[in-house]
Amino acid sequence: MAMWLYQLSAEKEFEDGSKWTPEVHREEVWEGQYLEWDTRQIRSLRSGTKPTAGDTVIYWFVKRGIDEPGLYDSGIIFEYNQDEETIKHLPIFPSAYLKMHPIYDDDMIELVKGIQNRMPIATMFEINDDHAQKLWIKIRNWIIHFSEIQSNE
């Protein structure tokens, strides 16, 4: 099983002129509801590797054009359609939490840069095992941090 970073940009316009912003993302993406998104350009660690059913995906909003960049969700890929260049995926825990409290700090920026490997122009990036472990630790610590803040209020 592989892990992928799915890069979101609020600068890309849809055919109707609308944009996928963090606000739209928060309204449209829910744990337990399947989504089907374009993959466009995929950067894999091994030549020809593509997303497969059971792989994990995390959703990263780039800073360009928005005030709230960061890591927004995680999910499971159920299907990759190579002909249509789409993935069918299901947001899972802790997506509901992360989309309200996205992770964006210097450590997260450096981790994403390491995943992108100086090639930030793509939609999906395969994540190596070392970066995947660091991501899950970062997510866990982020949730613990905000849980402690909320319990002290």
CATH classification at residue 83 = 3.10.590
Number of structural domains in the chain: 1
* Higher pLDDT, residue 106 or 40: 106
The pLDDT of 45-55, averaged and rounded, is 87
Separation of alpha carbons 3 and 45, rounded Å: 11
The pLDDT of 38-59, averaged and rounded, is 89
Give me the percent of the chain exceeding a pLDDT of 70.
Answer: 97
Q: Tell me if 71 sits within 8 A of 19, measured CB to CB.
A: no
The pLDDT of 59-70, averaged and rounded, is 89
pTM of the model: 0.88
Q: What's the domain range around 108?
A: 3-151
For CA atoms 146, 148, 149, 153, give the dihedral sign: positive
The pLDDT of 49-71, averaged and rounded, is 92
pLDDT mean across residues, the chain: 88
Q: Tell me if 78 sits within 8 A of 90, measured CB to CB.
A: yes
